Structure 1
Amino acid sequence: MVLYTDRLKLRLVEPRDAEPMERLINDKEIARTTLGIPHPYPPGSADAFIQRRQEAADKGEGFSFAVLDRPSGTFMGIVGLRIDPAHHHAELAYWLGRAYWNKGYCSEAAKRVLQFAWEDLKLHRVWAAAMTRNPASFRVMEKMGMKHEGVFRGHVLKDGTYEDLTYYALLRSELS
């Protein structure tokens, strides 16, 4: 399964992504505002992550796409969906290496995965969450047309601090 945008190629994560993934993700600035990424990133963890995400894809429970620069094939990060089949909705999550921030890559990749969610998976709802201190992440959500649903105060514990999460979502019925 491969998705394309003007500048990017998105394909399901593969074992060959483990090394570049660990190199990019082992960055304190990425971990600081990302819920499930620790710092330092434990060596070998990318292999286990990729295995779990391949199993989820095989079961139709989620899809994690490696974000690649289209001309060079350089690994840039991941955009993924975790699907709840009982309710026909999914959580959208993403991260990119710091060298690729503020260039529109994340919005471009996330929009394409959102299109996949509607057209191929026929989902009813897609939602996403970000720490309130990570406005770049929720700007991506806003650019996709997601609507702000609220803030869960002190909702998660990250590095010893309770963090507020802001939630956004889009319903199939809201597509233009």
Structure 2
Amino acid sequence: MQLEAIVNQPVIETERFDLRPVRRSDMGMIEMYASDPRVAKATSSIPHPLPPGSVEAYITRAMSADREEDVWVMDGTRAESSEVMGVISLTRLDRNQSEVGYWVAPAFWNTHLASDAVQALVDANPLGNDALFASVFHDNPASAKVLTNAGFVYLGDAETYCLARDAAVPTWTYSRKL
């Protein structure tokens, strides 16, 4: 039996869900959602098809004491919803800044879950950042709206390589001073 690592990361409570550190028991649900091509193609880092062991490796990295990315699961059990509705993360950058990344399971699209999660993370500012950054693909304007609703400001266009699409994809980049 493998014991759960204790991750030094706060739980962020909202009315609808908790943002809590990822745990090994999330593996099945994360794998189910991450293997959906609609989810994978909306992120830069999820390959499609999903290779065996990739979610386990992701969770192991997220639970590591020397991680560069703090990962929270959008957990709706307190509000009698799904235990895993999506994932949101902060990847540490230099100069006390982080990059926000998130995805939401298709069953919870168009429910303002991403907006609420990003706003909760901004309000909590668990890493004490001075600024946050995020980028979204041009063909995902709903994610751009999530960021602008949370006070992010458009910085410019760029390109990011998307594993699931096996291509460089145009992005909009946003920032938020805290």
The interval holding the TM-score normalised by the smaller chain is 0.7 to 0.9
1:61 aligns with 2:56: no
CA-to-aligned-CA distance 1:73-106 (integer Å, 9 cap, x gap): 521110000012x410000000011000000111
* Map of 2:11 onto structure 1: 2
Amino acid at match of 2:155: E
Tell me which protein shows more strand as a share of its residues: 1
Distance 1:2 1:39 in 2: 30
Which structure's residues are more often helix, by fraction? 1
Partners of 2:43 and 2:162 within 8 A in 1 = no
| Alpha-carbon separation, structure 2, partners of 1:155 and 1:10 | 27
2:121 corresponds to 1:110: no
AA partner of residue 72 (structure 2): F
Shift of 1:138: 1.1
CA deviation after TM superposition for structure 1 residue 155, in Å: 4.2
SS of equivalent to 1:75: coil
The 1:160/1:48 distance shift into structure 2, 3 A limit, reads closer
Conservation of the 8 A alpha-carbon contact between 1:89 and 1:126: yes
Q: Structure 1: which amino acid aligns with 2:60?
A: Q
Aligned to 1:24: 33
TM-score by length of 1: 0.87
> Would the alpha carbon gap of residues 160 and 78 (structure 1) be closer, same or farther in structure 2, given more than 3 Å must change?
closer
In structure 1, what is the Cα distance between the partners aligned to 2:162 and 2:58?
21
Task: Report the Cα offset of residue 25 of structure 1.
Answer: 1.3
Q: CA deviation at 1:33?
A: 2.1
Question: Equivalent residue of 1:115, what SS?
Answer: helix
Helix, strand or coil: the match of 2:46?
coil
Q: Say how many residue pairs are matched.
A: 166
TM-score (norm 2): 0.86
Q: Distance in 2 between matches of 1:60 and 1:157?
A: 22
Is the contact made by 2:41 and 2:162 (CA closer than 8 Å) also made in structure 1? no
Are positions 1:156 and 2:156 aligned together?
no
Measure the CA separation in 1 of the matches of 2:127 and 2:28. Answer: 30
Alpha carbons 1:64, 1:79 under 8 Å: kept:
yes
**Within 2, Cα distance between the matches of 1:60 and 1:30?**
24
Verify the 8 A CA contact 1:11 1:65 in the aligned structure 2: yes
Give secondary structure in 1 for the equivalent of 2:79: coil
Distance in 2 (alpha carbons) for counterparts of 1:60 and 1:3: 19
Structure 1 residue matching 2:95: 3-state secondary structure: coil
Superposed displacement of residue 60, structure 1 = 6.6
Aligned twin of 2:104:
96
Q: Return the offset for 1:59.
A: 3.4
Q: Which has the higher relative contact order, 1 or 2, with Cα contacts under 8 A spaced 6 or more apart?
A: 2
Q: Work out whether residues 22 and 43 of structure 1, in 8 Å CA contact, stay in contact via their aligned partners in 2.
A: no
What one-letter code is carried by the residue in structure 2 that aligns with 1:113?
A: L
Match of 1:135 in 2: 141
Query: Segments of 4+ in structure 1 off by > 3 A?
Result: none
Identity over aligned pairs, percent: 27
